[in-house]
Structure 1
Amino acid sequence: MFFDLPIDTTMQELLAGYDTDGDKRITKDDAPVNKDYRMVSTDGHTVILRNTYYISNLLQELAIAKDGTAPTLHISLCQIQEPPAERISRRIRTQFWDDLTRTIDEEGINRIAGDEKMHDNVQRIYVPYNDSVGIAYFKDVQTRMPKLDVVVLPKDITSDYVKSINDKPGILSLKIENGKGVPFVVPGGRFNEMYGWDSYFEGIGLLLDGRVDLAKAMVDNFCYQIKYYGKILNANRSYYLTRTQPPFLSSFIREVNDAMPVKDPKWLAESLAIAIQEYETVWMGGKRYTSNTGLNRYYADGIGIPPETEPGHFKELLQEYTDKYKLTELEFEQAYKDGTIKDAELDRYFVHDRTLRESGHDTSWRLDNVAADLNCVDVNSLLYKYEKDFEYLIATYFKDGFTGVDGKTYTPQYWAEKADTRKNLMHKYMWDENTHGYFDYNQRTGKRSDFMSATNFFPLWAGLASKEEAAQMVPQLMHELKAQGGFTGSSKASLDKYATGNVQRQWDYPNGWAPHQMVLWKGLIDYGFETEAREMIYRWLWTITQNAVDYNGTIPEKYDVVNATHKVYAEYGNVGTDFAYITRSGFGWMNASYQYGMSLLGDDYIKKLDNLERPESIFKE
């Protein structure tokens, strides 16, 4: 059954009758004037829509059609009544990835270099001093875009230099190839640049949806960053030049290589060499390596208050110092920024704060004012995975040994020994025999943390835990972090113990995040806990699906998984919830988690998902 609907008139009718709160969306929070919406099909049959989900679907399809030139939408009833899980997955596959794709080149630069993060209203791009291709390209673009400010970075990018350009924000160039920018996927919303660990998780979704070339392109941009900026960046903005993110490059390379229909030995060799370079220089060759334990930590360089934070973010913290120096908050911030006031205690706090942001977990009470002192379970698990991936890739594809960027020859045995050493050290410092789990180790105080976090279980994903350890860890995981809508970022007990004041950190209880879900699902499956994995996959996908059905297709950055809602008010709110008529892109790693979960769940549970069967009706305690 088909309908030909005048686009503008029908949209006006729907908004007038069903969008009672005026947000240009039709959700379960609206109180419709008339619950029945009547449509006449092309063959003269009358159909009545009573379901909020169907009516909001119609509004969304009208909004898509409005982008075109035709005044009428031709649509089938099946499209309007598309089952929700299939609809979400289809839109991710056919629409969301494309809308989230960007390039740093003449065609794509306006969308990024002109956004709200350029607060001085200058379209500014920074290019590495030794990227001759990039410099020539953007200098040429500048002749046609006179408002574009092309800045060549110095050879030595120090913390002082980065501080000096904080009031001159700009986008950092990425790889130019064949006269075009190599594409990448952004998270969405206000995040309009290429992020570190987001990109790996987005890549999982891209590979599932057959977008191998786009996933490969993102690996290429990571390799460019290591080659020209010395690290995979927190994101390619000028104020992130001193900060990296959780290391997932070896996994990304390996999974893209596995997905290639035709293998590219040259690409694999070049990518692997640069990944080894990152391992040796970023993680093992500086402050991120702690010689007293032989393990690693996050440690971000930089000076002062992180410039990307929103005004007032540190208000509670800085109040103590404004009182101490008898200045207003604005006066103190300016004096601290220009060096008139020096305070070692505050300096150290911001070392921890920048490091917390490098970890990707910005912010969490687990890391507050202590991040730079911790050998974290997550980063060491990820580096163990690097070592095992390097061992596998060299043994499989480079049987005569592998020569790195530094000219050193690497063998599988070399990496196997590295991995074994790290595994033993993690067990020595991080494994707690009483609680039967891995915990962050404070290498400065010599004490193990007792903070219960989703990151404590990364050894399952990395394959580091023994079978006996996994058997002890999984019951703890399911007891401490399982919630109605998925895994929480931390336990309630840890939140109650460590939180101070009224500040809710967004990576803590009751919130759940896509990367944690995806890591934990894989860890459970790899160790044979398929039943637990299936339950948690379903709980997470049900949360996404139910919220999308109730709230006009909303797919946000994160969820309150205890209450299974996207209405999260911790710190930065919830990116991806602010749109009119229809979400065009969802949110990057949330999209990927949906596709990944759908690939693991099985048809029987997808049918239950389409029927919005609540988890508690399926999984008995």
Structure 2
Amino acid sequence: MALKLAATSIIAALVTTASFAQQTPDQLYGDLFKAVQMKKIFGDGKTFVDCTPKRSITAIMADYKRNAKDTSTAFLKNFVAANFEQPIVPKVTNDAPDNDVVAHINTLWNTLKRASDKKVNGSSLISLPYPYIVPGGRFREIYYWDSYFTMLGLKESKQYETIENMIKNFAYLIDQYGHIPNGNRTYYISRSQPPFFSLMVQLLASIKGDAVYKTYLPQLTKEYNYWMEGAANMKITGAFKRVVRLNDGTILNRYFDEANTPRQESYAEDVATANEAAAVYASNKRWSSPAAMNKAIAQYKKTIYSHLRAGAASGWDFSSRWFADGEHIATIETTDIIPVDLNALLLNMEQVLHYANTVVKQPTKANYYLKQYNKRYKAIQQIFWSNSLQFFVDYNFVKQQQCNIIAAAGMFPFCFNNMDSKMPQHTINDALPTFKAQLLKDGGVLSTPLTTKQQWDAPNGWAPLQWMSIWALERNNETTLAADVAKRWIQLNTTVYKNTGRLMEKYNVVNTTLAAGGGEYPGQDGFGWTNGVLLTLIKKYGAATN
């Protein structure tokens, strides 16, 4: 624990967004940025950070400073309208949906495709050298883990060049920043997302052959080094960046963002959460002086911002998985938690690195990754399996106990075959009663069974979690149940499309007549990973029956 706190303070002092290649909106626009976000000039905090300036940033800020005494909402709205171009959202809804959702998806690929980028001064967009697919709606850039599930559908549409271009973009980002950011925005550089790059490489290799592993081995290695940074030097229990060392010396990983300020795209929301958490924190302690209290509160807010940012890095922003009380976001403790799905994905990365080094005839390196794989595999079986819940769950290393929240993340370990049949393992049969009772609903698989008004909790289901659950069932010979889950999801997606002309970011799987809800922004349509998973499932299991 002491190491964790020391590492965090060092990072806070040394790592700032100023160290990155492109400046972030808060650096460019300072007090103007804070005023626009805190007064909620736009209904969605992401809008302003995606705006582009109409003229010189220096001129814009000089004019703002001359008028800084006018803090009214009306002035800010007019000033922003006069000086910034708002991002454009292409129309993706079909106003006259017919029975062929597959045709609609194949049409949408062109709508969601972006050409290689041209750098725009003052824009938060990180230019990418190759065309790519965006999710849709407010998500106007490439997203890391979204893209794998989008690629599944692109493969079914035989858009192999687009798949490869997206992987080239991710390789470019790894070479530029040492990791794949959450998305290609400057305000996302300080964190990554669930590491699906190794699965993308496997997907491309299934199309083009094993030469793909040789091509992307340098980037696979760099990404692994990003996730494992500091592991070799950890001699005592604690955490450093994305690495955690347990009491017995076991090394596992957590989500982590290298900044400890409010997220720029959700600035007002994060400030409100930190204020709420700090009020409870302050009321539960006795203070020697107001100055001491204020200093402690300021540091505590930084901790909350770190937890919020790590929650965003997880892709599950937000969920009861990360809350100490399982209900309220003000109790968030993401960086204290070792997530089971993250470590399952890193297990796959180690397996792919083992295989890729075998392909290029590097037996020493291949053997190294095999050893790392074996260590992580055993740890997953021992640390994340809950005998009481009969399911894989997350682990809180600060409290030194398993989390008691069941989530679809617990299906991830079943997606990756172990390379040694002699290793002890918990089988899918052990987990099925819990899966069926807690997570399986009429429309598919819940994120968690808890209702918290967070979007990664009940009643919502998400395409990536359907895919991983179905994949886990298929790979463990539960083909009948896999088909059942797939058909529930296909039916729900298709029914919503026929009724609305929309393919949504998330769905209500409990009451399939209602829309999904919760979260920091309205429901988005488009939608990259929904399209990819739905198209792939229809190809394998058939279209909806009515």
Q: Same fold (TM over 0.5)?
A: yes
Alignment of 1:182-581 (within 5 A): 182-260=130-208, 263=209, 265=211, 268-285=213-230, 287-292=241-246, 293-309=250-266, 311-312=268-269, 314-315=271-272, 317-319=274-276, 321=278, 343-368=298-323, 369-395=332-358, 397-398=359-360, 400-401=361-362, 410-411=365-366, 413-464=367-418, 468-492=426-450, 495=451, 499=452, 504-551=453-500, 553-565=501-513, 567-577=515-525
Report Cα offsets for 1:160-211 as digits up to 9, x if no partner: xxxxxxxx66111223xxxxxx011111001000111001111111111101
The corresponding residue for 1:591 is 531
Q: In structure 2, do the counterparts of structure 1 residues 491 and 264 end up closer, same or farther at CA, with 3 Å as the change threshold?
A: closer
* Secondary structure, aligned partner of 2:505: coil
* Distance (whole Å) between structure 2 residues aligned to residue 320 and residue 354 of structure 1: 15
What is the CA distance between 1:573 and its match in structure 2? 4.5
What is the CA distance between 1:89 and its match in structure 2? 0.9
* Secondary structure, aligned partner of 2:265: coil
Q: In structure 2, do the counterparts of structure 1 residues 512 and 360 end up closer, same or farther at CA, with 3 Å as the change threshold?
A: same
Alignment of 1:54-133 (within 5 A): 60=95, 84=99, 87-93=100-106, 95-106=107-118, 125=119
What is the CA distance between 1:483 and its match in structure 2? 0.8
* Secondary structure, aligned partner of 2:482: helix
Report Cα offsets for 1:354-381 as digits up to 9, x if no partner: 0010011001121132110111101100
Counterpart of 1:88 in structure 2: which amino acid?
A: V
Q: In structure 2, do the counterparts of structure 1 residues 534 and 342 end up closer, same or farther at CA, with 3 Å as the change threshold?
A: same
* Distance (whole Å) between structure 1 residues aligned to residue 474 and residue 135 of structure 2: 27
Unaligned runs of 5+ in 1: 1-57, 62-79, 107-124, 126-147, 150-167, 176-181, 326-338, 403-408, 578-585, 612-621
Q: In structure 2, do the counterparts of structure 1 residues 322 and 549 end up closer, same or farther at CA, with 3 Å as the change threshold?
A: same
What is the CA distance between 1:221 and its match in structure 2? 0.7
* Distance (whole Å) between structure 2 residues aligned to residue 351 and residue 392 of structure 1: 35
Alignment of 1:32-47 (within 5 A): none
* Secondary structure, aligned partner of 1:543: helix
The corresponding residue for 1:65 is none
* Distance (whole Å) between structure 2 residues aligned to residue 382 and residue 214 of structure 1: 23
Counterpart of 2:257 in structure 1: which amino acid?
A: A
What is the CA distance between 1:554 and its match in structure 2? 1.4
Q: In structure 2, do the counterparts of structure 1 residues 59 and 200 end up closer, same or farther at CA, with 3 Å as the change threshold?
A: closer
Counterpart of 1:599 in structure 2: which amino acid?
A: K
2:126–2:186 Cα contact (<8 Å) kept: yes
* Distance (whole Å) between structure 2 residues aligned to residue 377 and residue 563 of structure 1: 28
Alignment of 1:136-147 (within 5 A): none
1:298–1:372 Cα contact (<8 Å) kept: yes
* Distance (whole Å) between structure 1 residues aligned to residue 458 and residue 342 of structure 2: 21
* Secondary structure, aligned partner of 1:522: helix
Q: In structure 2, do the counterparts of structure 1 residues 435 and 172 end up closer, same or farther at CA, with 3 Å as the change threshold?
A: same
* Distance (whole Å) between structure 2 residues aligned to residue 391 and residue 481 of structure 1: 34
Report Cα offsets for 1:468-513 as digits up to 9, x if no partner: 5211112211111011101010013xx4xxx5xxxx1100011000
Report Cα offsets for 1:355-411 as digits up to 9, x if no partner: 01001100112113211011110110000111122223333x33x227xxxxxx522
Quick check: which has more Rg, 1 or 2? 1
* Distance (whole Å) between structure 1 residues aligned to residue 187 and residue 498 of structure 2: 38
Q: In structure 2, do the counterparts of structure 1 residues 532 and 284 end up closer, same or farther at CA, with 3 Å as the change threshold?
A: farther
Q: In structure 2, do the counterparts of structure 1 residues 391 and 599 end up closer, same or farther at CA, with 3 Å as the change threshold?
A: farther
What is the CA distance between 1:437 and its match in structure 2? 1.9
TM-score (norm. length: structure 1): 0.64
Counterpart of 2:516 in structure 1: which amino acid?
A: V
1:557–1:576 Cα contact (<8 Å) kept: yes
Q: In structure 2, do the counterparts of structure 1 residues 287 and 392 end up closer, same or farther at CA, with 3 Å as the change threshold?
A: same
1:384–1:423 Cα contact (<8 Å) kept: yes
* Distance (whole Å) between structure 2 residues aligned to residue 251 and residue 241 of structure 1: 21
Counterpart of 2:101 in structure 1: which amino acid?
A: I
* Distance (whole Å) between structure 1 residues aligned to residue 477 and residue 337 of structure 2: 31
What is the CA distance between 1:324 and its match in structure 2? 9.7
The corresponding residue for 2:66 is none
* Distance (whole Å) between structure 2 residues aligned to residue 532 and residue 589 of structure 1: 22
1:557–1:574 Cα contact (<8 Å) kept: no
1:567–1:574 Cα contact (<8 Å) kept: no
Q: In structure 2, do the counterparts of structure 1 residues 370 and 280 end up closer, same or farther at CA, with 3 Å as the change threshold?
A: same
Counterpart of 2:275 in structure 1: which amino acid?
A: L
* Secondary structure, aligned partner of 1:295: strand
* Distance (whole Å) between structure 2 residues aligned to residue 522 and residue 313 of structure 1: 35
* Distance (whole Å) between structure 1 residues aligned to residue 514 and residue 174 of structure 2: 35
Report Cα offsets for 1:108-162 as digits up to 9, x if no partner: xxxxxxxxxxxxxxxxx4xxxxxxxxxxxxxxxxxxxxxx41xxxxxxxxxxxxx
* Distance (whole Å) between structure 1 residues aligned to residue 270 and residue 368 of structure 2: 46
* Secondary structure, aligned partner of 1:434: coil
* Distance (whole Å) between structure 2 residues aligned to residue 466 and residue 511 of structure 1: 34
Instruction: Give the fraction of aligned pairs with identical amino acids, expressed as a percent.
Output: 27
Report Cα offsets for 1:553-592 as digits up to 9, x if no partner: 1111101110114623312344335xxxxxxxx3000001
TM-score (norm. length: structure 2): 0.72
* Secondary structure, aligned partner of 1:410: helix
Question: Which is helix-richer, 1 or 2?
Answer: 2
Q: In structure 2, do the counterparts of structure 1 residues 467 and 447 end up closer, same or farther at CA, with 3 Å as the change threshold?
A: closer
* Distance (whole Å) between structure 2 residues aligned to residue 323 and residue 456 of structure 1: 32
The corresponding residue for 2:233 is none
What is the CA distance between 1:269 and its match in structure 2? 1.6
* Distance (whole Å) between structure 1 residues aligned to residue 395 and residue 494 of structure 2: 38
Unaligned runs of 5+ in 2: 1-92, 231-239, 283-293, 324-331
Q: In structure 2, do the counterparts of structure 1 residues 491 and 322 end up closer, same or farther at CA, with 3 Å as the change threshold?
A: closer
Q: In structure 2, do the counterparts of structure 1 residues 565 and 234 end up closer, same or farther at CA, with 3 Å as the change threshold?
A: farther
Counterpart of 2:223 in structure 1: which amino acid?
A: E
What is the CA distance between 1:533 and its match in structure 2? 0.7
